[in-house]
């Protein structure tokens, strides 16, 4: 999953009616749409001032670029 992050202070929601947070335990929480189930955000206790944002939720052009890949050894053969 591609993601970016922002300071919690810089993130503002226009509406929160369908935003639901799931506490996975250990202070890790996932934000998702309660209507369609799409993953939107996550936050972790080791970075309390940051909110990770799923890149697929952003309107294009995003201006994002790849900085690193986790689990690169597990990438599908169609990805470079």
Q: What is the distance between the alpha carbons of residues 63 and 46, in angstroms, rounded to a whole number?
A: 26
How much is the pLDDT for 16? 86
How much is the pLDDT for 19? 93
Q: Which pTM does this prediction carry? A: 0.76
Instruction: Provide the token pair at 15.
Output: 């509406």
Give the domain ranges of the chain.
3-74
How much is the pLDDT for 62? 87
Q: What is the distance between the alpha carbons of residues 61 and 69, in angstroms, rounded to a whole number?
A: 21
Q: Nearest Cα to 2, choosing from 37, 28, 39?
A: 39
| Strand, coil or helix: 55 | helix
Per-residue pLDDT of the chain (80 residues; tens, 9 = 90+): 788 999 999 998 888 899 999 999 999 999 999 999 999 999 999 999 999 999 888 888 988 888 888 777 877 777 66
The topology (CATH level 3) of 3-74 is 2.170.150
Q: What is the distance between the alpha carbons of residues 17 and 35, in angstroms, rounded to a whole number?
A: 10
């Amino acid at each position: 999953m591609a993601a970016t992050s922002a300071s919690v202070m810089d993130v503002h929601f226009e509406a929160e009616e369908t935003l639901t947070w799931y506490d996975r335990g250990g202070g890790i929480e996932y934000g998702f749409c309660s209507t369609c189930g799409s993953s939107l955000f996550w936050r972790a206790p080791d970075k309390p001032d940051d909110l990770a944002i799923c890149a697929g939720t952003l309107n294009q052009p995003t201006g994002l670029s790849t900085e690193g890949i986790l689990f690169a050894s597990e990438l599908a053969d169609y990805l470079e």
